[in-house]
Structure 1
Amino acid sequence: MNIGFSLPQYGAMAKQLDLVARFARQAEELGAASLWVGDRVLASVNPTVGYAGPGTPIPWQMNALLDPFVAMSVAATATERVLLGTSTLTAPWYSPLLLARSLSGIDVVSRGRLLPGFGTGWSPEEYQGVGVPWRERGARLDEFLDVLETVSATDPIEQHQGTHYSIPAAYIGPKPVQRPRPPIYLAAFGPASQRRAARRADGILPAVTPHPGFKFDPVGAVSGPLEQVRRMAEDQGRDPASIGAALRISPSAESTVEDVVDIVLRTRDETDVDHVFADFVYMADHVDQALEMVQRTLELTR
């Protein structure tokens, strides 16, 4: 089982961003298999979409977040072995050409350790903040993936003239170390995103949020969505076994390391998913506390 952890990117640890390199280095030394970042640009005071349902506010931990590309770049230079994942980058916010450049650079600097995950996000206010129409998010992600494939694999690229983006024929480098491109993981929580993942993804990004009274259902949370995407992929002529998953565990402040460990072990024993990662943003007040949780998790899952 590959067990990873989110970098100290936001929450109380947003006041200790100068310690990201130390966290990354020590997590790798402790045996972490991967390090992950998330993506936010703002936390709306009056969100249209509630964080945990209609009318619920966005947690204060989301009020500040280190840029994911900064966090990954720091981690890439502080480590030698761990994969560097994104769960998830909200691709429609970005110019696909500039995002492809950033991702290629991180893959080169890390010598081929990038594991990019993409989604469309859930906050209309964040789309408003970056000047991208909310209603175009799915179509923009599809076109972004087209551009990413071309920019990563071809030199020079042919002219791209799409609905949302126009790129002339050009030389664009450096290319990623992983050829023809790094594996692409996609969020797949709804029918449209599952269809997209079935067509284009190398893996999906399920997630669970342990809280008091939570009962982990490996089939509903992990195996079910993965099998659904695999069936859809097979219908399109793809090898279903080629699609993997990386499960995100986002425990609440009331959760314990033992709660996380239980999900890791049950995922290992009851599914064919071999990659999980935990985000201790709600549990840890300091980087050192988060590292203690990393160490405890790894000790209890060996």
Structure 2
Amino acid sequence: MTLRLGLGLPQMRHYTPGRDVTAVAREAEAHGFDSLWVFERTLVPEDPVDGMYGIEGRPWPESFRHIADPLVTLSQAGAVTERVRLGTSVLVAPLHAPFELARALGTLSVASGGRVVAGLGTGWSRDEYGAADADFARRGALLEETLDVCEQVWSPGLSEYEGSRTRFTPSDVGPKPSSGRVPVLLAASNTRTLERVVRRADGWAPSFTPPSVVARNRARMRELAEAAGRDPDSLSVVLRCGVNVTAKPLDGERPAHQGSVEQIVEDLAEGVAAGVDEAILDFQNSTHDAGELLDAAREVHTAVRDAGM
């Protein structure tokens, strides 16, 4: 299997929205990347209710400040590319009004020629939920409602829905994705949320997840899919990787996808063995500008392909 390679677009505050996004998007497509991806962080509270990832006392990193809007960023990339898929890994779905989000994703899909992949999750920050006036305690149910609304808005014919947050009578809503839907990936961390992947989505979108966990969850998804009468091979695993290329190999225990190019290629090979179908290489937190990001991206991409992956 050839590992699909995606690239994280520059959204952090040391990049310039627009100029850097379009430059990176054009060059990534020209060099052979398969896809371009964005993520979502809406704010950084001075006195957060939760630590990062919901872990008590864990500080939020400075890199979370001033993250450019994901859909605006993805639209900029789509306007200057023709082939690469355009994905979110991930959007925190309950922070968005479901009807407006479904229409925005559908419009972007049509405008890009059907290249959009909607990676959605529930997030972990009560502060972000508060700013969006969304109920953190109901985050799973809110994600389910978003998926319901998307199905209605994207499907041919009239759309209608009545839920706890969204209600609309039979209406003509468009533009419609040409395939009748936008592919959906879901973030998941346990059996309950993996069951949602099998029931509602086209694959799983983990971030910064070690191979042992990928392998365990991939096996669990296979079991759940077979039990539900679904082809397990129809589900993909798209892993976001924080990449930091160093001039020399790192000794001893090291974070995944950090070290020399050779070490990073080894890490990606371990991911493939665990069941990763596509790796999103995100260099933006380890590079200083778009030129440095592109240099690192080209080097790793070429090394992965030279290794036969």
> TM exceeds 0.5?
yes
Provide the aligned C-alpha RMSD in A. 1.8
Q: Is the 2:37–2:89 Cα contact (8 Å) retained in structure 1?
A: yes
The 2-side partners of 1:68 and 1:248 are apart by 15
Match of 1:95 among 81, 88, 97: 97
Alignment match, 2:189: 189
Match of 1:265 among 243, 251, 269: 269
Query: 1:134-156 deviations in whole A, cap 9, x for unaligned?
Result: 11111010011111111111321
Q: Is the 2:9–2:284 Cα contact (8 Å) retained in structure 1?
A: no
Match of 2:141 among 127, 139, 142: 139
Match of 2:280 among 277, 280, 295: 277
Match of 1:232 among 224, 228, 231: 224
| Residue aligned with 2:14, SS | helix
TM-score by length of 1: 0.90
Q: What are the equivalent positions in structure 2 for 1:48-87 lying under 5 Å apart?
A: 48-51=49-52, 53-87=55-89
- Identity of counterpart residues, as a percentage? 35
1:253 is displaced (CA, Å) by: 8.9
Q: Is the 1:253–1:282 Cα contact (8 Å) retained in structure 2?
A: no
Residue type of the partner of 1:116? A
Residue type of the partner of 1:300? A
2:107 aligned with 1:105: yes
Residues 78, 72 of structure 1: alpha-carbon distance in 2 compared, 3 angstrom cutoff: same
The 1-side partners of 2:285 and 2:117 are apart by 24
Q: Is the 2:7–2:37 Cα contact (8 Å) retained in structure 1?
A: yes
The 2-side partners of 1:195 and 1:88 are apart by 18
Alignment match, 1:9: 11
TM-score by length of 2: 0.88
Residues 183, 19 of structure 1: alpha-carbon distance in 2 compared, 3 angstrom cutoff: same
Query: 1:37-73 deviations in whole A, cap 9, x for unaligned?
Result: 0012111222232226421211111111111111111
1:190 is displaced (CA, Å) by: 2.4
Alignment match, 1:298: 301
Q: Is the 1:104–1:176 Cα contact (8 Å) retained in structure 2?
A: yes
The 2-side partners of 1:56 and 1:17 are apart by 32
Query: 1:64-114 deviations in whole A, cap 9, x for unaligned?
Result: 111111111111111111111100111111111111111011111110111
Alignment match, 2:177: 176
Alignment match, 1:35: 36
Structure 1: gaps (5+ residues): 210-216
Q: Is the 1:33–1:83 Cα contact (8 Å) retained in structure 2?
A: yes
Alignment match, 1:203: 203
Residue type of the partner of 1:298? H
The 1-side partners of 2:22 and 2:174 are apart by 27
